C-alpha cells in the first residue's frame, strides 16, 4: 500500500471522502480512508492487494494525481502532517508553486543554516 496524506478545508472533508469512493470504481483499486476530520487531515491508503507491480504503480500514479488535483480544487495541500518523501516531491512543487517552495527553503535555512538536519531532502 501507499498513502496519500492530504489536507483539505474541513468543509470539504465529507466530499473528499466520497470522491475517494468514486476513485475506487474509476481505477478498480481498493482505497481506505481515515484521518483527522477536525483539522481536514486525511490519510488515504491505496492498496496493492494482488496487483502485479507494474499495474500497481500505474494505478497508484493515476490515483495520486486525481487525489491531489481534487485537493487543490478544494484549496487543500499535498500533506497535512507526514511530510514529503522523495516519491511525492513533484506533487509538493505543484501544490506550493515556486514562491511557496522558496518560502519553505528560506524557513529551512533559518532553522538549519548548515543543512545538517535531513540532508538532501526537499526542505
For the segment 47-102, what is each residue's pLDDT rounded down to a tens digit?
A: 999 999 999 999 999 999 999 999 999 999 887 666 666 667 777 777 778 898 89
Number of domains in the chain: 2
Q: Are 74 and 9 in contact (CB under 8 A)?
A: yes
Domain CATH number, residue 90: 1.10.45.10
The SS3 of residue 30 is strand
* Same domain assignment for residues 100 and 54: no
Residues 103 and 78 in one domain: no
- Is 13 in the same domain as 64? yes
- In terms of residue numbers, what domain contains 99? 84-123
CATH code: domain of residue 39: 3.30.70.2740
How many degrees, rounded to 5, is the angle at CA 21 between CA 91 and CA 78? 15
Whether 29 and 78 map to the same domain: the answer is: yes
Confidence of residue 14 (pLDDT cuts 50, 70, 90): very high
Say if residue 12 is in the same domain as residue 38. yes
CA 47 to chain centre: 15
For residue 83, what is the DSSP state? Answer: -
Output the pLDDT for position 62. 96
Amino acid at each position: 500500500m501507499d498513502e496519500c496524506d492530504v489536507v483539505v478545508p474541513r468543509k470539504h472533508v465529507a466530499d473528499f471522502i466520497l470522491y475517494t469512493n468514486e476513485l475506487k470504481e474509476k481505477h478498480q483499486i481498493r482505497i481506505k480512508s481515515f484521518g483527522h476530520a477536525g483539522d481536514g487531515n486525511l490519510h488515504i491508503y491505496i492498496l496493492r492487494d494482488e496487483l502485479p507491480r507494474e499495474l500497481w504503480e500505474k494505478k497508484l500514479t493515476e490515483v495520486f494525481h486525481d487525489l491531489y488535483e481534487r485537493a487543490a480544487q478544494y484549496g487543500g495541500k499535498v500533506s497535512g502532517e507526514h511530510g514529503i518523501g522523495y516519491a511525492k516531491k513533484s506533487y509538493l512543487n505543484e501544490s506550493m508553486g515556486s514562491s511557496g517552495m522558496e518560502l519553505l527553503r528560506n524557513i529551512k535555512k533559518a532553522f538549519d543554516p548548515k543543512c545538517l538536519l535531513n540532508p538532501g531532502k526537499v526542505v
